[in-house]
Amino acid sequence: MMGGFLYALLLLVAAALLGAAILVVVGSIYFDATNSEVPPGIEQPARLRLIHAIIIGTAVVGKILENLHICSQVQFVRYWRNGRKLGPDAKLFIKDMKFKHVPVRIYQPKDPSAGGRKGIVFFHGGGMFGSINAYERMCRYISKESDSVVVSVEYRLSPEHKYPAHLNDCLAATTHFLQTADDYGVDSARVIVAGDSAGGSLAAVVCQTLVGRQGLAKVCAQILIYPGLQALDFNLLYQQNQAVPILFREKAAFYFLHYLNGDVSLLEELLQGCHVPVDQRLRCKKWISADLIPKEFKARGYKPWVPVSCDEEVYQELKNVFVPEVSPLLAEDAVVQKLPQTCIVTCEYDSIRDDGLLYKKRLEDNGVPVTWYHVINGFHGILSFFDNGWFTFPSGKQGLDNVVRFIQSL
């Protein structure tokens, strides 16, 4: 009798779990279908929708686990996204260690080199969810294809750590590598700083900071892959791609607030521009304005945005957005002129595409050589899907190969 009861109970629990799983799947697909926009020009739209539904479903499961006090939503999403460290590689020495206090993973080609190799300091994307494990495939590929030593940096993440923790870790790791490059078979005059998404922003700031440092070898190039470079104006041409997976305009602002001060209650004010005083808006217009974006990018539609009045309390809470360490697009010309040659990757269907376009113009106006790759049918994060089995996007592979060719040309 008791055995039959336990069997029935187990069946009931299993049915409940199955029902919950089905609800999560159906709800995630419904959310994606009703809240996202996948333009017809994007590569493999159905595949992108599925990826986005999985991301949404993971967040929902994480929230359920948080409400059950099993783990936080952030912890669960990180666990799912980060994956595991891959096994040994026949062509690379791979070692985890620390540069000062910062964990790093070093990828070093096994084949002997006639001289000092190029070195790449890489900052992963996802200021809340990224990790060196999540970027393992990309870093291995770059190291092998470009015959370079890659240092992948495990900087501290939001929301536990806020500005300037991420930046301090990236600066510490980069300066340490510049000082010790020879220990890894790297020519210190051939060190490149690179990153994607949030890591691209950190790479830009690190390069700006180091142009004024004495006693260090100069960074020879920077690679900025769909970087976020300012938080003054989320109404450039962002409206075109504001609901395109996998980075909605609102989510970009949400992640930024977690990085800056953790106060996401100011999300709507940030999106509307309530944090920008008139004098700051006028000062920065020469660097951040829809008027500076080439007209071909307005072909899909652009409605000029009418600025709102500044809220002094909001400005005081968010005033750090006006420092170049947070918004590198606002660096003075005297700094920009000293930056190394640059590779910028942008994607047509990326909510923060315009930041890369504006920085390209700033660099070129200041005489900095720029190699620009625009993934015409790409979305934010597409390079990470260069080799993901069924979830592979050919344009991601092409974009990453363009980055490799840039490295090879140095």
Q: pLDDT (tens digit, 9 = 90+) per residue, 175-187?
A: 999 999 999 999 9
Among this protein's residues, is 143 annotated catalytic? no
What is the pLDDT of the chain when averaged over all its residues? 91
**What would the mean pLDDT of 102-115 be, rounded to a whole number?**
96
Active-site residue, from 169, 311, 350, 355: 350
Would you state the pLDDT for residue 7?
53
Classify residue 89 by its DSSP letter: B
Among this protein's residues, is 275 annotated catalytic? no
For 46-100, write each residue's pLDDT tens digit.
999 999 989 988 888 888 889 989 999 999 999 988 877 789 999 999 999 999 9
pLDDT reading at 226 higher than 90: yes
Provide the pairing of β-strand 117-123 with 186-196.
parallel
**What would the mean pLDDT of 190-218 be, rounded to a whole number?**
96
pLDDT reading at 349 higher than 70: yes
Other beta carbons less than 10 A from residue 281's beta carbon: 16
Among this protein's residues, is 197 annotated catalytic? yes
Please state, for a pLDDT cut of 90, what percent of the chain lies above it: 77
pLDDT reading at 348 higher than 60: yes
Active-site residue, from 28, 354, 380, 384: 380
- Spatial separation of the C-alpha atoms in residues 52 and 379, rounded to whole Å: 12
Provide the pairing of β-strand 92-99 with 102-109.
antiparallel
With a CB cutoff of 8 Å and minimum separation 6, the contacts of 358 are 229, 230, 236, 287, 288, 292, 293, 329
For 358-407, write each residue's pLDDT tens digit.
999 999 999 999 999 999 999 999 999 999 899 999 999 999 999 999 99
Q: Are 207 and 222 in contact (CB under 8 A)?
A: yes
Active-site residue, from 197, 201, 384, 395: 197
Angle between helices 394-409 and 136-146 (to 10 degrees): 40
Structure tokens at 91: 């062509």
Could you tell me the pTM of the whole model? Answer: 0.93
Would you state the pLDDT for residue 81?
86
Which pLDDT band holds residue 23 (cuts at 50, 70, 90)?
low
